[in-house]
Amino acid sequence: MSRTPRASRLRWFVPRRRQTALAAAAVLCVAGIAAAPASATASPATDPVRGQLAYIAVAGAYGLPSALAVMDTRTDSLVDFHTMAQSLNGIAVNPAGTRVYGTAQGTVVVMDPVTDATLSTFPVGASDGDIVIAPSGGTAYVADSSGTGSVHVVDTAAQTVTATVAAGGYGLALSPDGSRLYATGPGGVLSVIDTATDTVVATVACGTSTGYVAVDGTGAHAYVTDWATRSLYVVDTATDSVTSTISLSSFVSNPTRVAVNPAGTTAYVGQGPGGEVLDIDLATHNVLHILQAGTAISAEAIDSTGSKLYAGGYNSVMIPAGSVAVFDTASETKSGGLGVTGYVTGIALGPTSAGTAVSLTTNTTGTATQGNPVTLTATVSGADSGTVQFYDRTSSAYGSVPLGAPVPVTNGTATLSTTSLTLDIHSLSAAFTPAAPGLLRSASSAVSVQVIPAGVNVEQAYTATGTGIVITTLYTTGPRLLLAFVSSDGPGEKQSASVTSSGLDWTLVKRANNQGGTAEIWSAYASGPLSDFAVASSPQFNGFDQQLTVLVITGATKVGASAAAGSSTGLGHVSVTTTAAGSQVYGAGEDYTNAQSRTVASGQRLFSQWVDTAVGDTFWTQGTTGTTIPSGTKVTLSDTAPTGDTWNMAAVEVLGSGS
């Protein structure tokens, strides 16, 4: 019977991507920003001679480990994640780069910057906070928030407290020449300490609450945050007085850390709960940009050139994963990052020194079949010998885990082959530790590899329904075979459709339209990733209802046999004889008579179905369930109910990638 077109109506259904469980062993991850999807090669650092490491204090929380994380700032990738018994708070590196100091539960932890191992610990006060190192490296200053607040002066060689100044207790910053120490404390008081005499020579009121402090590279100004007034106070260090107050109340609810570029032209103020960093022009006091870090800010650092800003923090109790966001200050964009499972409490940059570089390649083109070996090859420059630790981070986990033990470098390369990668998107990297002393460690950029099931498998099903032209959007990392299944009402026999999308060529596989409406299958192959990609089905006779389902299929590159069938009555069914072992069969169906749910045969499944009561039609997509099918097998897609309707069905064999 003929149908009258209805007014245009469009309904959407796009399933969410499957989220797998958090990997229990995960400890650190390389952020997806630094990794290009479907890339088999990560380029080495541009300058293998000079490099700089960032040392990141990670406080354990919610059952997660405390650690010292080390990042190669050239690639924003993991060099080491050294778990510790102590929960670190502040962190600093001496100017020579020979020691790393962290504060933890009223102690100072001394760490080796080459092995990241703890060398010693010694007590300092009752609590702990910021730590800074004098330019000479011989003195450290530790903030102690217990009581009314104090600063402990530490002889780093003797590892003893030589003096305690009853001031501050929270944030610390040194003048460039080390002659003045600026310490924030209770009540919004900034204390100015003469480091020659370890005495307070001035106090400056900066709001009403405890904040953090930074000094510019010229030493002319100190900058203090105050969360109660939501302000940044500018302090003239020559007169020890506030010269201006920059209100941040329109932008943040809780300003936390502050960093200032060496030239003293720009301040970066972190936001506690929001995860933003404000870029403030210190000449005009205007907020120029709001940088999105994606995590509540609890730590900041800026390099000696002022070209890179590092902002670290944490997310929440429900998602206890922090991260370090890396910003290019020239372009005001997030250029990379590193995620950690834990609370980032401090970031310290080591000195720029003689370095190495490592690049990573894999034997895949972005996709690997589960169970097949994935071979990782690290190529080293700048050193003759050492070891490489390979790391793996899955898309569903916040952290990476080491892949096996460190591999010795032979003739400039180290290789690891693994079959243990799970079904997921993996961000792989390589970290190199040179054997020769004095050379900086390095880490490669990340390489993304997605592990897909062996054999033909439906990764995602995207469905849209509506009247007239129907559009669905989809996502795939590629390469993937795409099949579009169109089921449409029509004015009677010979309705048809065309499937289109930008950048892909769609081919009609099979059309069944001898009865009213049409059921048809179209195919295309996506050689690379697709994001928010639109696929449209346009009927020849417009104004009729239709369903469009796009299956994203892994383990396949092409289709084989196909068939069409239809009848004015009886059970819907269509048969295909497979042409290769390991194939699967999928089909589209359209019931022209009734809006009645399908009951598919045993061993088959529905991928989508629209019981369209408005016009009395049913549209559906069904297929086999993944059981291995030998070549030459007659596969019948069929329904056990209803039995007396008019129907069209089309089916196609999908060949495994080895066929």
CATH of the domain at 366: 2.60.40.10
Reference 648, options 548, 545, 563, 535; nearest CA is: 563
Cβ atoms of residues 497 and 648 within 8 Å: no
pLDDT of residue 395: 66
User: What residues contact residue 491 under an 8 Å CB cut-off, 6+ apart?
Assistant: 2, 3, 541, 544
Residue 650 and residue 601 in one domain: yes
Residue 31 reports pLDDT greater than 60: no
Whether residues 593 and 513 fall in one domain: yes
The residue out of 425, 452, 479 marking a domain boundary is 452
Q: Based on the fold, state whether residues 470 and 585 are members of the same structural domain.
A: yes
Which tokens in the block code for residue 563? 């068939």
Query: β-strands 425-434, 91-93: how paired?
Result: unpaired
Radius of gyration for the alpha carbons in the chain, expressed in angstroms and rounded: 31
* Segment among 32-41, 148-157, 345-354, 514-523 with least mean pLDDT: 32-41
In a shared domain, residues 513 and 418: no
Decide if pLDDT at 627 tops 90.
Answer: no
508 and 642 housed in the same domain:
yes
Same domain flag for 502 and 579: yes
> Between the CA of residue 363 and those of 209, 417, 443, what are the distances in Å?
56, 10, 19
Mean pLDDT of 622-627: 88
Asked whether residue 443 is assigned to any structural domain, the reply reads: yes
* 427 and 468 fall within a common domain: no
Q: Which pLDDT value is given to residue 317?
A: 44
- Burial of 389 (C-beta count, 10 Å sphere; 0-12/13-18/19+): buried
Residue 652 lies in a domain: yes
317 versus 522: the higher-pLDDT residue is 522
Q: Which residue has the tokens 């004095």?
A: 438
Does residue 472 form part of some domain? yes
Q: Which domain holds residue 424?
A: 357-452
> Residue 164 falls within a domain, yes or no?
no
Write down the pTM of the prediction. 0.77
My answer on whether 376 and 402 are in the same domain is: yes
Amino acid occupying residue 522: W
Q: What is the pLDDT of residue 36?
A: 29
Distance CA 82, CA 70 (A): 8
In a domain, 638, yes or no: yes
Co-location of 488 and 620 in the same domain: yes
Q: Is the C-alpha dihedral spanning 408, 413, 419, 422 positive or negative? A: positive
- pLDDT given at position 3: 52
Residues 448 and 462 in one domain: no
What average pLDDT does the segment 35-58 reach? 60
Asked, for residue 575, whether it belongs to a domain, the answer is: yes
What pLDDT score does 397 carry? 59
Q: Please determine, for residue 321, whether its predicted confidence score (pLDDT) is greater than 60.
A: no
Say if CB 484 and CB 446 are below 8 A apart.
no
pLDDT greater than 90 at residue 192: yes
Are 116 and 80 spatial neighbours (Cβ–Cβ below 8 Å)? yes
276 falls within a domain: no
- Looking at the fold, whether 416 and 385 belong to one and the same domain comes out as yes
Extract the tokens encoding 166.
């009853």
Mean pLDDT of 225-253: 94
The reply to whether 539 and 651 lie within a common domain is: yes
Structure-block tokens of residue 652:
């196609």
Domain end residue (candidates: 452, 477, 510)? 452
- Residue 609 in any domain: the answer is yes
Q: What is the band of 124 on the pLDDT scale with cuts at 50, 70, 90?
A: very high
Which residue, 422, 437, 452, sits at the end of a domain? 452
pLDDT at 512 exceeding the cut of 80? yes
- Is 413:379 a contact under the CB 8 Å cutoff? yes
C-alpha dihedral (463, 465, 471, 475), degrees to nearest 10: -10
Query: How many domains would you assign to the chain?
Result: 2
